[in-house]
Structure formats: structure tokens, C-alpha cells
Amino acid sequence: MGERRVTSIGRHVGLDDVGPDARARLDALARIVQDVSDFDASSAPIDGMGLWILRRMAIDIAFTPRFRAEVTARTWCSGVGARWAERTTHLYVGDRLCAEAVAIWVYVDRAGRPARLGEWFFEHYGGAAGGRKVSSRLSLPHPPAGAHVRPWPVRASDFDLLRHVNNAAYWYAVEDELARLAPGRAPVSAELEHRAAIEPGDPVELRSTVDDDDVLWVWLTARGETRSAAQVRLGAPGKRHAPR
């Protein structure tokens, strides 16, 4: 099964990662998770490995990194399925764990088709996963009929090399609704599921609501189809972020 593979990178929280409150936005945290995940995959001694497509990501936030914080990201494979794998990523500021992200990534071959994980995968990642099986099933609901709806502009810079809206860019819509519907509230946990890709030319709409349990719900839809669903649990009003 191989040794337990753990990969780390460092990131500086810069001006493009924060808003007026100086906290690292959810899209910034998602980019760090995405970057360390890709670095792990690209640095693995595996010839001809395909790509990994994000299925869902859940982030638990103990405290939010702030402007100019130095963040260390450490990632490892924490579970496997037939054509997907779970990756856990810890984000640290100094020696303090500030966030944990757990994500399901689907493996696709060079032709873009979901493919089974072979011995090449278990040789390098099986030791960390320890035989733990995980599901790729999605659980977040579709938007209710009464959700607020508005057009959501998709920019050319939102698309990545797969001609899909990049994983981190989906969080822009979540942050927009945080500022509009819950100003001054910081997220304590967040989850985002990708149901179908947003491609160039799709007429995207943003739907959102805040429920009685202080959970913000955000959906991106196109042509009547839910493309992504997100939920964000909000911290208490006026709760301050931990210093960097």
C-alpha cells in the first residue's frame, strides 16, 4: 500500500485574497486547497496520470486567516472509491490549525472520462487512505421555489484549462451573498457541491436564501438545472476573527 504520503505548500494571504474586513475569503481558502491538491498530484512519481475533478468540498473553520498571514497547507488521501478519492487538507497559521477541508475528487483519464483507480494509485496513496471507503453521493438540496434569484455574470477569467468555471470561482457567488444577506457575519463552516459544469455561454442565475438556523444557501443554476449548491453556517453577529 505504500507509505503515508503527505504534501505541503506555503501561501501568503495577499490583497487579492481578502475583503474590507481583512479576512481570507472562502474562494481564497478554496484556492489554497486546490493548489496543494494539484501540487501533490503533479509531484507524484506517476507517469500518465489524468486529471481530478472536484465533486464536493466541506470546510470547517476554527479561525479565519487574515491579511498577510502565512498559511501552510498539508494534504493527504483520506479515503477511496471506485473512481474517486477523498482528500483532507489542513490549513495552519503558525502551529495553529485554522481550517480543515475534506473534498471528493473524481479521477478522469486523458480523454476526460471517469476512470477506475488502478494499482498505480494505491501504490502511492493507499498508505494514507488506510483502506477507508468513501461515497461520492451529493446531499445538498436543489433551490426552493421561493429563493431569491438574479442573473450571475460569468467572466472569461473564471474559466480554467478544462473550459469549466474553476472550482474556486464558484465561491465568489457565495461571498457575494454573504456580503448582501449577512453583512459582518463570518462563516464557521461551508460546503459546496458541483453537480454539473458551467461552460462558456451558459445563462447562469444565482439563487439564495438564509434559513432560521443561520445557514446561508446559495445555488448557481443554468437552463433550469442546478450546477452547484452551497451551504454556509454563520458565526454569531459581531464575532471577531482571530488575529493573524
pLDDT digits over 134-147, tens only? 999 999 999 999 99
User: 84-131 pLDDT, tens per residue?
Assistant: 999 999 999 999 999 999 999 999 987 778 999 999 999 999 999 999
pLDDT at residue 77 tops 80:
yes
For residue 2, give the 3-state DSSP assignment.
Answer: coil
Ordered by start, the domain boundaries in the chain are 7-234
Query: What cell was used for 60?
Result: 470547517
Question: How far is the CA of 27 from the CAs of 34, 133, 169, 171, in angstroms?
Answer: 10, 28, 7, 5
**CB-based burial of residue 119 (10 Å sphere; 0-12 exposed, 13-18 middle, 19+ buried)?**
exposed
Q: Can you say how many angstroms the Cα of residue 240 is from the centroid of all Cα atoms in its chain?
A: 24
The mean of the pLDDT values for the chain is 93
Tell me the DSSP string of 66-114: BTT-EEEEEEEEEEE-SSEEEEEEEEEETTEEEEEEEEEEEEE-TTS-B
Residue 219 — left, alpha, or beta (φ > 0 → left; ψ -120 to 50 → alpha)? beta
Q: How confident is the model at residue 166 (pLDDT cuts 50, 70, 90)?
A: very high
Mean pLDDT confidence for 202-230: 97
The three-state secondary structure class of 126 is helix
Q: Is the pLDDT of residue 68 over 70?
A: yes
Residues in the chain: 244
Superfamily grouping for domain 7-234: Hotdog Thioesterase (3.10.129.10)
238 pLDDT higher than 80: no
Given a cut of 60, whether residue 239 has pLDDT beyond it is: no
What pLDDT is recorded for position 64?
Answer: 95
